[in-house]
Chain A
Amino acid sequence: MKAKIYITLKNGVLDPQGQATQVALGHLGFGDISNVRQGKFIELELGEKDQKKAERIVSDICEKLLANTVVENYRFELIATHK
């Protein structure tokens, strides 16, 4: 099973890196861009084949390590792989 995990900042948390990226886009001529927020994308594979069990494992992984739940949200997709 493959997991694609998206970690994003919660609304209201200041994102100066997103703001800097937005400024850089302005310098490149992309003027009408707003609300740039940056996050993380993490992929991993797990041996668990059961969808529900895999969801619980990946949630656990996100809660325990991949996301800092003080300031970050997470969501993920699971894709069955054929080994």
Chain B
Amino acid sequence: MIHRPSVDWFALAPVFALLGASGVALLAAVLMPVRTRKPFAASVTALGYVGAGVAAGLLYWKSADGHPVVSDAFMRDRWTALATIVIAGTGFLAVLVSYAQRARAEHVAEYYALLAAAGSGMAFFVGAANLMTLFLALEWFSICLYILCAIDIDLEGSLEAGLKYLIVGAFGSAVLLFGSALVYGATNELAFDRIAGAADSGDVLLVVGLAMILAGLAFKASAAPFHMWTPDAYEGAPTPVTAFMAAATKTAALVVTLRILTTAFPDQSDLWTVAVAAIACVSLAVGNLAALVQRNVKRLLAYSSVSHAGFMLIPIAANNALGARALLFYLIPYSAMSLGAFAVVAARERELGAPVTLDNLAGFGWERPFLGVSMWVFMLGFAGLPLTGGFVGKFYAFSAAYDRGWTWLVVVGVVATAVSLYYYLGVIRAMYLSAPAELRPVSVGGSPPREVLLGAAVLGCLAVTVGSFFAVQPLIDLAKDAAKSLPL
């Protein structure tokens, strides 16, 4: 008789909602006529994300006391639930951005199936409570993303992006797996909470394992120096996929990083806080300096995402309750800004039929007032200027570092912000200050498509970006309650 663990189906509801949506969308690829495939698959995926979001909301409500479920493999707590809500929201908006994307009809249902499956993997990932589920979930969503990057074979660079991401990503996964094995070897334990205290805090095997796990997660969070894949993958992938990756992958990876570090390695916090702070500084330096010289907007945003990994590692390095709160709060406007910015790039790309560079953005702000102003707000948000949640997020992140007593980290962050302003304002400069006469658009025929869904997605991102500036209290309360799930 095989021992069967009791399964808390409710805790896994967001995962299954998306997995179900993925399955239905995949069936549509086979059973539905070509014409209806896209609307059907897209709606099912959108519904899956809505369902996952609602289920995660209920879970948040019902899981005030966090506890592991399913043989201690999955954490049912508010930390998981809130991260899942962010991922579900991101996924839903990504579906809206994807809808008008030009793609071959034969793969369109698979695209949405993979998008749902990736979200499902992330929802599982953020709840991982032992090293096994951690690796399983990581591979689960990564493989979906590898394919998504490469799915548009007509798009120049898409295949290359997928391959690069696959190779480097697989390397990252392998590092994580190796690290997990070392930790298991040192402690004989898989569950995070039992790893803590299972071996000497100075055990070499354990410390090396910790370092490798950290590196593996840093690959996914695209923190420097583990970011090499980011610019190429972001540039080559279809823009809606980039939008989803930039927002959701980072959310998942960072949320899990903080959980595993604080739950499994509290005794080594002297080591890993310094390591995380170092990675944060390197990411800030590399991301910001490299972004300064980019002309391609997707590459620019990719480096900006590297630098933001740095910003969001600051609260993790702080290793305090304020930091956990800061991280979750920051992820909300960050996801919205990131998705929104790539959505605007997608709109321009469809209009021009060419990769968007700072040169061919000229005049965009005046031609498309709504998208222009939105992009403006997203850029200001990235730069951490007021009236956007990005300001509050940075403020909290720096406060967490200050609270820990690391004023130097605050200064590094502030200097990095000052540098980043050059290229964020550079995008605004390109949209509003450059003469549109310099622009030679590629003729694609007809006027730009009216993209209602994309506009709605951008409006949603705008609302979250600006709304999270004014409604700090409710959001921070959510984040605070979620952070109570962690042993901080």
A, B bound: no
Chain B residues close to A by CB (< 8 Å): none
